[in-house]
Homo-oligomer: A and B are copies of this chain.
Amino acid sequence: MATFGLIEYSDASPEVRAVYDDIMATRKTDWVNNFWKALAHDPAALKRAWETAKQVMGAGALDPLTKEMIYVAVSMSNQCDYCVASHIAGARSKGMTDEQLKELIAVVGFANANNRIVAGYQVEIDERFKP
């Protein structure tokens, strides 16, 4: 299910195929997941998201696995089931172990609890923490 359906490779325009090809080449895989096939209905958005993915999720001061784990943490906080499932897969493909994922989940739970405890106690920012 998807708002406009999914665009398979065989039905894709050359513009969309070029992105699919780059996704598969970059990920060294022979398939494209539903997110991109849904987004392909807006080729400019597809291209923008994929270019951003390459810039933002690739190696830099943070390694790609850490970035995938941050992505999972955000998706858990936002209750995006698709994003949790797909980026757990993405993180595993980059080497995330089960132990790492369990620790990640524990941190996300802890942060979410404390974010609201701070709201309830109306805690003011310490002078030393102000930017």
What residues of B have a CB within 8 angstroms of the CB of A66 in the complex?
A: 66, 69
Task: Say yes or no: A71 contacts B119, CB within 8 Å.
Answer: no
Give the copy number: 6
Q: Among the listed B73, B80, B101, B129, which residue makes an inter-chain contact with A118, where contact means beta carbons less than 8 Å apart? A: B80
What residues of B have a CB within 8 angstroms of the CB of A87 in the complex?
A: 111
Known: A102-B42, A129-B33. Contact between A119 and B81, CB under 8 A? yes
Q: Is the interface of A mostly helix, strand, loop or mixed?
A: helix
Q: How far is the CA of A72 from the CA of B55 in the complex (A)?
A: 21
Among A3, A101, A120, A130, residue most surrounded by chain B Cβ atoms (within 10 Å):
A120
A41-71 residues at the B interface, CB under 8 angstroms: 41-42, 44-45, 48-49, 52-53, 55-57, 60-62, 66-67, 69-71
14 contacts between A and B (CB under 8 A): A2-B123, A3-B120, A33-B128, A56-B107, A70-B73, A70-B107, A72-B120, A83-B111, A85-B122, A105-B120, A105-B121, A109-B116, A112-B112, A112-B113
| A residues apposed to B, CB below 8 Å | 1-5, 31, 33-35, 38-39, 41-42, 44-45, 48-49, 52-53, 55-57, 60-62, 66-67, 69-89, 97-126, 128-131
